[in-house]
Every structure is written in structure tokens, then in C-alpha cells.
Amino acid sequence: MFWAFTPLVGLKTALSVLFAWMFRCSKISAALAVTVHDILTPIWPLFLRWEYDLGFWLLSHPHHFPEKLCMADAHLKFWLHWHTLEFLWPTFVGSLVFAVPSALLSYWIVGLSLRRRELPAVER
């Protein structure tokens, strides 16, 4: 997933497979992770908006959602101001609400699949 966040368009898959080979990891999993991340790139702004909305709602007292964004706010000059940093904290809080359950679910699924894979070897 590290290579998926770099702008190395043609080299990401090759680098992920190379590092998977160097560290004796699954080369197929490395290539799939980069590919899946690239496929999902167009919908990341939607996830970021959901995270911001949820974080804003959790941090506001009384709870309310942020005002609706308009396309006039999407200019590059808007995003290069320090004022933009106030979006980071609500987005971070909202991302934790999504990240913690998905990490726990992933951990449980991987642990369960590894235990099932180890059972036949123990029975021998």
C-alpha cells in the first residue's frame, strides 16, 4: 500500500513486487494491493467527505453537520491557504471512526483464515 500513495505511475506495481520478493512476502498480494488502490482512486474524495462530515459532527456542540460545499470552494487558491488546515482535525477524527472497525475486522478475518490454514498441518 505504501507504493500506491506515490506518484510513480508505471513503477508502483514493479516496486511492490520487488520489495515483496526482497522481504519474502507474497508477490501476488503486493501487486493486487497496488492495483486495487489505483482502481479505487476516483472514489477517495467521497470517502474523505464522509470522514470530514462525521468528524465535524462529532466535534461540534451541539452536534450538526457542516454546511454544504459548493464548487466555488474547489479552486486551487482556496486549498493553498492555512485556513484549509481546519479541515484536518475533523477529517482525522472521522477517519478513525472508519479505520478502527475496518482494521479490527481485517485482523479478525486474517487471523481466522490463518488458523484454518494451520489446522491441517497440526493434525498430521
Q: Are 93 and 83 in contact (CB under 8 A)?
A: no
pLDDT value, residue 79? 63
Of 21, 23, 18, 16, the residue nearest 1 (C-alpha): 16
pLDDT value, residue 39? 82
**pLDDT tens, the chain, 124 aa long:** 566 556 676 788 888 899 999 999 889 988 888 888 778 778 888 888 888 899 999 999 898 888 877 666 666 666 666 666 677 888 888 888 888 888 888 889 888 988 887 766 555 4
pLDDT value, residue 58? 93
pLDDT value, residue 57? 94
Alpha helices in the chain (DSSP H): 12-22, 27-40, 44-59, 76-79, 88-123
For residue 62, the SS3 value is: coil
Of 30, 26, 39, 42, the residue nearest 1 (C-alpha): 30
At a CB cut-off of 8 Å and minimum separation 6, what does 47 contact? 98
Question: In the chain, how many domains are there?
Answer: 1
The domain in which residue 94 lies consists of 3-123
pLDDT value, residue 21? 94
pLDDT value, residue 18? 93
CA geometry: angle 9, 11, 13, nearest 5 deg: 100
What's the pTM?
A: 0.62
pLDDT value, residue 6? 63
Distance from C-alpha of 26 to C-alpha of 15, rounded to nearest angstrom: 13
